[in-house]
Structures are given as C-alpha cells and as structure tokens.
Amino acid sequence: MKISKILQDKRYPALNFLRYVGPGLIVAVGFIDPGNWAANLAAGSQFGYKLLWVITLSTIMLTFLQHNVAHLGIVTGKCLSENATEHLRPTISRIILGTAVLASISTAVAEILGGALALQMLFHIPIVVGSPLTAVLVIWLLFSNSYSKIEKVIIGFVSMIGIALLLEIFIIPHISWGEAVKGMVVPFVSGKSIPIIMSALGAVVMPHNLFLHSEVIQSRQWNLQNEAVIQRQLKFEFFDTLFSMFLGWVINSALIIIAAALFFPRVVTEINQAQEMLIPLLGPAAAILFAIAFLFAGVASSVTAGMAGGSIFAGLFSEPYDAEDPHSRLGVLITIIGATVAICGLSFLVSPFNILIYSQVFLSIQLPITIFLQIYLTSSKKVMGKYKNVWYTKWLLLLIGAFVTILNVVLVVETF
C-alpha cells in the first residue's frame, strides 16, 4: 500500500498527523541558519555547556509565537502580510510591510553568505563568486518547483544537517552528557556571557519566519467553511510546530555540544575557524561533514528567506504567495538579488563575520514591529472571529514580545 493511501486510511489514525507535517519544518530552517551556527559555536567554545539553557528558552518562546501566527493563516486563509493589508490603514500597512521586505533581504544576506562560506570551505571558492552561485541555485529552486517539491527538498536538507551533526557527535570521544543536561535546564549568566546570550536568543525569533509560517500553513487547507476541518487543522498544526521546533532545538543544542566538547575554552569567532580546528582534532572527514551541513543550512534557509520575501511582497497587493505569480516572483528576486549585491559590495569593506552581525542588527530593529502586528491581528475578533486570542494567551504573547523587544534593543545598543 502506498504511503499516501496509508495516511488517509482510517485504520491508521495515529499516522494521520503526518499529512500535516511540513510547514513547521520549512520555518524551522530559519531556526538553524548560519547566524544561529555562529552564535552557537561562540556559546559552546567560550562557555562550554553552560549556555544550552538559552536554546531551551528561545525554543519555547519561538514555539508560542509560531503556533499563534499559524492559527492566523489557518483561520483567515490569508498570511500575515495579506491580513495587514486588509485590516490596517494603507499607509501604515505599506510602511510595516516595507520594513518586513527589508528584513527578509537582511535575513537572506546571512543565509546566502552562509552558503558562500560553505563553498569556500569545501572548494576554496571566493565569497564574491560563491554568493552569486548560491543565489542562482536558490532562485532556480524557488522558480522551478511547486511548493510540495520545495517542502520535500527542505525536509531533505534538514535531515542531512541533522545526520551530519549526529555523525560529528558520534565521532567525538569525550562529551560530558551530565553537564550538557544540566546546562539545558539550569540558567547560567555572567557579565561576559550576556552578549552571547543576547545574540543566541535574538537570532532565534526572526520576522520573516512569522510571515512565512502564516503563508505555508495554508498548504494544508482544504475546506475552510467546514468547522471540523478547521478544528483538525488547528490540532495537527500544533503537533507540526512542536515537532519542528523540537528538531531545531536538537540541532542547535548539538552545535553547542560539539563546540563545548572540542573547542572550549578556545574561542571560535569565525565559521572557517571552527572547520579548521576540527581537522587536527577529528580528521579531515569531520571538517568536510561540518562544511556540508553548513552548506545545506545556508541553501535551505536562503530558500525560505526568498519565499518569505515573495510572500510579504505579494501581500502588499492582497495576493497569496505563488511561484508563478509576477508579484511573488518579484518579491523573491528583490530579496535574493538584493542580498547578493549587498554581500558582494560589503565583502570588500568588512569581514564576513561582521556582515552577519550587521544583518542581525537590522532584524533586531524590525522584529518588534512584526511581533506586535501579529498580536494585534490574532487578538482581533474582526480578524479571527471566535478563534481570537483568549486573554491569557494575549498577555503571554505580549510578555514574550516585550522580552524579545528589550533583548533586541539591548543587542542593538551593545553592537554600536
């Protein structure tokens, strides 16, 4: 019996949720992008296993926000961008969505740069050459495949990243699992660790992912007029989001564990540096595995950044994302080409590491705007009807939004 038949067979109700798995994994890619790799390697190399709790906390916050914005997409049948255009004044919505497009470009800078750095590690290709190559591959993936195919490609990329990192862990001779478990649940804060904590937390919740999740969750909608279908959607979306965020937590935790076991207390501040340090410790095979995983992370997250840019731009015209639609395609091109031009121009002036930092700073500025836009829309009875946020959900989201806002403001101040 074919897999698709099994999933629809009422004799296998436990497997029914697998039909809904996918949108969360698309979003989870942004949770394991090159910016996260840099923050996690810095955390593990400087503080060992002590900052693993940051990944746990950030994953919990991210799960609440992504779960909430996915509800918006399910209930309204429209993404965050489309809802902003419909329910806000035109001037306000255009300003907000304009900054969101810029945030997607900023995100794509880090993602495409990650792919270029991986090509440099694997084949010694210069960044000014690797960035356009990565961009061409990403545009081809987005324009030549339907969403269902893109989803399968992303799931494959996430699987390869996870497998590569698990292989890395298995060949590391000495990992203190007791300290790792303690670090996951016991907070550790010191004066020197605060910048790393802020970077790790700030790199997890990203504005483009909130727009993207509300868009791609609609790939699982069939009949929004049927109350039972909506209820089933809401139920299985939670499992999809929870499962996907858990995978992101595992991969990010694995990066800190690898850095803690191999590099601590030698500080890692560059991705290339981490790869070079692996060679004398574990041999060339480990360094190649690391670079391959990083390449998949860079390409996969670049694809999702392009999709987010296309979705936001199409929403300005009250349209859903569609790879065949001119507005969606233009949004993708603006995001990917804009990021590539920025990388090639900045690479002659600043180091790749600083490019990553400055791209994250802009995200930090825009993120509160997206979070509070989401909370406003999901708390509105006009938008969500009876599915609007209940009072305690609204206040929990506001607390998370306020915490992330304060965190990102401090990150911007510290950076400059």
- Measured in degrees and rounded to the nearest 5, phi and psi for residue 222 equal -125, -40
Is pLDDT at 402 greater than 70 in this prediction?
A: yes
Residue with tokens 């090159």: 34
Choice between 375 and 298, residue whose per-residue pLDDT is larger: 375
In this predicted structure, the answer to whether residue 338 has a pLDDT above a threshold of 80 is: yes
Q: pLDDT tens for residues 10-45? A: 444 444 555 556 677 778 777 778 878 888 888 898
Average pLDDT value for residue range 284-308: 86
Quote the CA–CA distance of 147 and 156 in Å, as a whole number. Answer: 14
Structure token pair of residue 46: 């400087």
pLDDT tens by residue, 135-192: 999 999 999 867 677 778 888 878 888 888 888 788 887 889 999 999 999 988 887 7
Instruction: Tell me the three state secondary structure of residue 33.
Output: coil
d(CA 284, CA 287): 5
pLDDT confidence of residue 379 = 96
Q: Domain ranges for the chain, please list them.
A: 20-415
State the pLDDT at residue 227. 67
> Residue 3's pLDDT band (boundaries 50, 70, 90)?
very low
Ramachandran assignment for 77, one of left (phi > 0), alpha (psi -120 to 50 degrees), beta (any other): left
Question: Measured between alpha carbons, how far is 342 from 247 in angstroms, rounded to an integer?
Answer: 31
Helix, strand, coil shares of the chain, percent, nearest 5, are 80, 0, 20
Is the peptide bond between 187 and the residue preceding it cis, with omega within 30 degrees of 0? no
Cβ-Cβ contacts under 8 Å for 111 (sequence gap 6 or more): 33, 34, 298, 301, 302, 304, 305, 339
What single letter denotes the amino acid at residue 314?
A
For 248-260, how does the pLDDT look when each residue is reduced to its tens digit (9 = 90+)? 899 889 989 988 9
pLDDT value at 226 more than 80: no
Burial class (CB in 10 A: 0-12, 13-18, 19+), 415: middle
144-171 b/e (C-beta count within 10 Å ≥ 16 → b):
eeebeebbeebbebbebbbebbeebeee
The CA angle 65-67-69, to the nearest 5 degrees, is: 70
Nearest alpha carbon to residue 258 among 158, 180, 163, 169: 169
Q: Which residue has the higher pLDDT, 1 or 190?
A: 190
Tens-place pLDDT, residues 66-108: 999 999 998 898 999 999 999 999 999 999 999 999 999 988 9
Q: Encoding tokens for residue 357? A: 């930092």
Amino acid at 118: A
Computed over every residue of the chain, the mean pLDDT equals: 83
pTM: 0.86
Give phi and psi for 221, each to the nearest 5: -95, 140
Classified by CATH at the fold level, domain 20-415 comes out as: Amino acid/polyamine transporter I (1.20.1740)
CA atoms within 13 A on the CB side of 54: 32
